[in-house]
Amino acid sequence: MEIVRFEEELSKSKTEAVIVPFYEDRIPSPAVEFLGIDRIPGPVSVTGFTGKKGQVFRTMDATGNQMQLWVGLGRESEYSPETFRRSYSSAYSCLRNSKIRECLIILPGTGNADEAFEAAYILKLTVYSFDEFRSEKTSVDLKKVYIATGERQEIIDRAVSVADATNFTRNLANLPPSRGTPSLFEDRAREIRGLKITVLGRDDFIRMGMGGMEGVSRAAKEPAKMIIIEHGSSDEKPVMIVGKGITFDSGGISIKPADNMDEMKFDKCGASTVLGLMKLASDLKLRKHIVGIMPLTENLPGGNAYKPGDILKHYNGKTSEVLSTDAEGRLILADALAYGVEKYNPVAVIDLATLTGACVIALGNNIAGLMGNDRDLKEKIKKASERSWEKVWEMPIDDDFRDQIKSEVADIKNTGGKEGGAETAGAFLEHFVNGRPWVHLDIAGTAWTQTKTAKADYLPKGATGFGVRLLYEFLGS
C-alpha cells in the first residue's frame, strides 16, 4: 500500500472511495470544497448521519462511480487528536475486506500539521491483521491512498515508518509461545541493518552473576537469551530501553490457573516493543544513541525449576527472595537493568513490561502505569504520551512500598503481596538502576487487548504495539 499526498483540486478526484469529515455543527472547509455544499446532505431521517463522533455513513456520489465515507467528528469545540484517530479509524475499517483499491482521505483542516501524520499512521494500524497462521487472509485490496494535505510527503513517510514498526512489534508479540522464542528474537534482531548486537546465554548468566536470568530460565526448554542491540554513535551517552521478554509465562512452580493461560504468550510485549523501536531507529536513521536490552526466557515449571523460597543474587550483588515464581518479570529485568546501567552509562533508562495484573486492575486496558525516580524524565514521557495515542498515568513509589518488599532472609523479596502490586514491583526495579534517571512503564493492560477491551478500531484483538510511537515521540523531543 502506497500513501501519497494529493495536490490537485479536491473536486477533481476520481478515486474509488473518498473519506469526508463532518463536525456536528460545521462542515470542515476541505469537505465543503469537495462536496460543493455547506450542510450535511440529508435527510437525516433517512441517513441517520448527524456528524456525531465516530459515526460513519457510506454512500455513493451522484454518478455512482465513487463511494463516499462520511465520518463524524462530533462538536468542533470538543475535537481532539484522539477524536480524529478513533473516527477515522472507524471509517478505515470499512476499507478492510472491501475491494476498494484506491482512496482519497480528506482531512478536517484544523491547521494542525499532525493531521496528515495521524491519518497515515492510523490507517496502517487499522488495516493491520495478524494472519500469518490463517489460510484465509483478511484482504486489504487498497493499493494507493491519497491524503489531501499541504504538508510534505516526508511527514507521511515518517508516519508509515512508525506504523510499520508498530505492526512489526505486533507481529512479534502475537506469535504463539512455541514460535515466538528467544532464538526467534535473536534472528529478527540480526535482520535489522546497522545495529551492533550482543547475545548472552545461560553460561554467561552464571559466569556474570545474573541470578535472575539464571533462576527464571532454569526449567526453560528453549535457550534463554539476553539480547543487547545498539544503534548510533557511542561518543554520546545512550538512552537505554529495556523490555520484559517472557516468551511464555506459566507462572513456573507457582503455576497459574489453566483458564486464559494462553494469554501469557503476551508476556513478551515489552521486548517486542524494544525490537520494534530499534528497527524504527534503523529505518529512520535516527541520530540518537540507543541501547535496547531484551531479557528473554520462558517461565516454566519442572523438576529443575527455581522454587518459591529460593534466594537469587542479581548482577549488581543484591539478593532477592523468591516468594512467587510467578513474579518473574522483575527478576530478569533486575539483571538487564543493572547490567545495562553499568556497561552503557545511559543518560536515561526506560523499561517496558507486562509486569503486574494489579496495574490492569488499577488503570484498565487503555492506560499504562508510569513510575520512576526522575521528575524531568517522567515529564518527558508524559509529554510524548500526549502526542501518541498511548496514555500513561503516574503511580507512586514511596517508602511504604519500599518497606513492603524488604525481606528477612535477603535484601528484598519478589512480591509484597496484592496490595499496591504495581507499585511494589516498581520499588523492586528501582534497586537495579543505580540512581540513574529511570522510568518504568507497566504495560500489562495496554500491550494487548481482548475484543471486549479494544477501545478503537486501530487496536486489533491481540498485541497493540504499545510503546513504539511513545518512545519515538520521546526520542524525537
- Which residue in this structure is represented by grid cell 512489534? 169
Determine, following the binding rule CB under 5 A, whether residue 326 of this chain makes contact with Mn ion.
yes
- 95-103, 121-129, 319-327, 339-347 -> range binding Mn ion (CB under 5 A): 319-327
In whole angstroms, give the CA distance from residue 125 to residue 113. 20
The residues, ordered by sequence, that sit 6+ positions from 195 with a Cβ below 8 Å of its Cβ are 189, 229, 230, 231, 278, 282
What residue type is assigned to position 315 of the chain?
Y
Determine, following the binding rule CB under 5 A, whether residue 177 of this chain makes contact with Zn ion.
no
Determine, following the binding rule CB under 6 A, whether residue 358 of this chain makes contact with ligand BES.
yes
Residue whose CB is nearest to Mn ion in the complex, by number? 326
In whole angstroms, give the CA distance from residue 286 to residue 292. 14
Least gap, CB of 11 to ligand BES (angstroms) = 50
How far lies 98's CA from each of 1, 127, 273, in Å?
Answer: 14, 11, 30
Q: Which is nearer to ligand BES, 349 or 444 (CB)?
A: 444
- 29-37, 217-225, 290-298, 322-330 -> range binding Mn ion (CB under 5 A): 322-330
Marked catalytic residue, from 330, 378, 387, 391:
330
Least gap, CB of 323 to ligand BES (angstroms) = 8
C-alpha cell at 182: 528467544
Question: Contacts with ligand BES in 221-260 (CB under 6 A)?
Answer: 249
Least gap, CB of 392 to ligand BES (angstroms) = 17
Contact pick of 249, 423, 442, 473 for Zn ion (by CB under 5 A): 249
Q: CB–CB of 211/295 below 8 Å?
A: no
Determine, following the binding rule CB under 6 A, whether residue 356 of this chain makes contact with ligand BES.
yes
Q: Which is nearer to ligand BES, 209 or 308 (CB)?
A: 308
C-alpha cell at 433: 538502576
Least gap, CB of 422 to ligand BES (angstroms) = 8
In whole angstroms, give the CA distance from residue 423 to residue 395. 7
Q: Which is nearer to Zn ion, 245 or 340 (CB)?
A: 245
343 C-beta neighbours (distance < 10 Å), count? 14
Determine, following the binding rule CB under 6 A, whether residue 328 of this chain makes contact with ligand BES.
yes
Question: Contacts with ligand BES in 416-435 (CB under 6 A)?
Answer: 421
Q: Of 230, 217, 189, 241, whose CA–CA distance to 296 is shortest?
A: 217
Q: Where are the alpha helices (DSSP H) in 175-268?
A: 182-191, 202-208, 211-216
Q: Which is nearer to ligand BES, 241 or 331 (CB)?
A: 331
Told to judge if 52 belongs to the known catalytic residues of this protein, a careful annotator would answer no
Least gap, CB of 216 to Zn ion (angstroms) = 9
Backbone phi and psi for residue 208, each to the nearest 5 degrees, phi listed first? -95, -5
In whole angstroms, give the CA distance from residue 453 to residue 351. 24
Least gap, CB of 6 to ligand BES (angstroms) = 42
Least gap, CB of 356 to Zn ion (angstroms) = 9
β-pairing verdict for 448-449 and 462-463: antiparallel
Q: Where are the alpha helices (DSSP H) in 388-457?
A: 399-404, 421-430
Question: Contacts with Mn ion in 204-263 (CB under 5 A)?
Answer: 249
Determine, following the binding rule CB under 6 A, whether residue 360 of this chain makes contact with ligand BES.
yes
Marked catalytic residue, from 256, 307, 343, 382:
256
Told to judge if 330 belongs to the known catalytic residues of this protein, a careful annotator would answer yes
In whole angstroms, give the CA distance from residue 170 to residue 466. 9
Determine, following the binding rule CB under 5 A, whether residue 321 of this chain makes contact with Mn ion.
no
Q: Where are the alpha helices (DSSP H) in 266-387?
A: 269-283, 329-344, 357-363, 375-387
What residue type is assigned to position 446 of the chain?
T
- x/- binding map, residues 314-333, to Zn ion, per CB under 5 A? ---------------x----
Q: Which is nearer to ligand BES, 171 or 365 (CB)?
A: 365
C-alpha cell at 336: 538487564
Q: CB–CB of 89/83 below 8 Å?
A: no
- x/- binding map, residues 275-314, to Zn ion, per CB under 5 A? ----------------------------------------
Binding interface with Zn ion (CB under 5 A): 246, 249, 267, 329
Active site residues: 256, 330
Binding interface with Mn ion (CB under 5 A): 249, 326
Binding interface with ligand BES (CB under 6 A): 249, 267, 324, 326-329, 354-358, 360, 415, 421, 444
